[in-house]
Amino acid sequence: QKEVEQNSGPLSVPEGAIASLNCTYSDRGSQSFFWYRQYSGKSPELIMSIYSNGDKEDGRFTAQLNKASQYVSLLIRDSQPSDSATYLCAVGLNRDDKIIFGKGTRLHILP
Amino acid sequence: DVKVTQSSRYLVKRTGEKVFLECVQDMDHENMFWYRQDPGLGLRLIYFSYDVKMKEKGDIPEGYSVSREKKERFSLILESASTNQTSMYLCASSTRTYGYTFGSGTRLTVV
């Protein structure tokens, strides 16, 4: 059973600090990795994608991928109250186009 | 600029009714998916389709069927609605490797 694991949280981070969200996956052949943000009552929104080892930065967001350790992370710098949401890690399987989602980490930014 | 449209935001149906959930995408994506999302269970894949008239079962297809007669439209059918199908239903479409774009979701209540 291919799995994507995330700590459910809630993760509480002071406003202005760095929020660090982590994810591990079981399928070593996975090739594509995504982070989605989901506000309460809303649908998931893609915020970052990463395909190769290392870091990828987009504004205040940095995605980090380590395929050897089967580990993906999302860093949010200068956290804002509007970043409070559930963050879903998703992993694209090797052989087809399905994405496996983790159950998400609830992030709460403390004003 | 809405890209994936789900026909209803909220829906209330009676037990035993046949229910149709419609999803339309305007991005010319080959792949379309139906998920349900429940607290604590995350996103669970019901059915997906890689092409017109093609469909494959996801992780929880029981009690559901789908139809894809045109590339842009993917319909989810609850043959005989039951209370345990009360959930948030999310449609998504994708191209290979990019990740999913979700519709706004349909919150279905079966009474």
Residue B4: which of B95, B98, B92 has the closest Cα?
B92
Cβ contacts of residue A18 below 8 Å, gap of 6+?
A: A75, A76, A77, A78, A79
Judge: A97–B50 Cβ closer than 8 Å, yes or no: yes
Q: Give the mean pLDDT of A46-69.
A: 95
Kindly state whether A51 is in contact with chain B, defined as any CB-CB distance less than 8 angstroms: yes
Close Cβ partners of B69 (under 8 Å, ≥ 6 residues apart): B52, B53
Q: What angle do CA B107, B89, A41 make, to 5 degrees?
A: 50
Whole-angstrom distance, CA of residue A85 vs CA of residue B103 = 18
Q: Is B41 within 8 Å of A104 when comparing Cβ atoms? A: no
Which tokens hold the place of B99? 């990740």
A61 interfaces chain B, CB cutoff of 8 Å: no
pLDDT of B108: 98
Residue type, A39: Y
Residues of A in contact with B105 (CB under 8 A): 42-43
Q: Do A34 and B99 contact (CB within 8 A), yes or no?
A: yes
Per-residue tens of pLDDT for chain B, all 111 residues: 659 999 899 999 999 999 999 999 998 888 999 999 999 899 999 999 988 989 999 999 999 999 999 999 999 999 999 999 999 999 999 876 677 899 999 999 999
Question: How much is the average pLDDT of A23-41?
Answer: 93
Residue A8, pLDDT > 60, answer yes
pLDDT for B40: 87
- Asked whether the beta carbons of A5 and A44 are under 8 A apart, the reply is no
Q: Is the pLDDT of residue A49 over 60?
A: yes
Average pLDDT of chain A, as a whole number:
93
pLDDT average, residue stretch A40-56: 94
Indicate if the pLDDT at residue A95 is higher than 60.
no
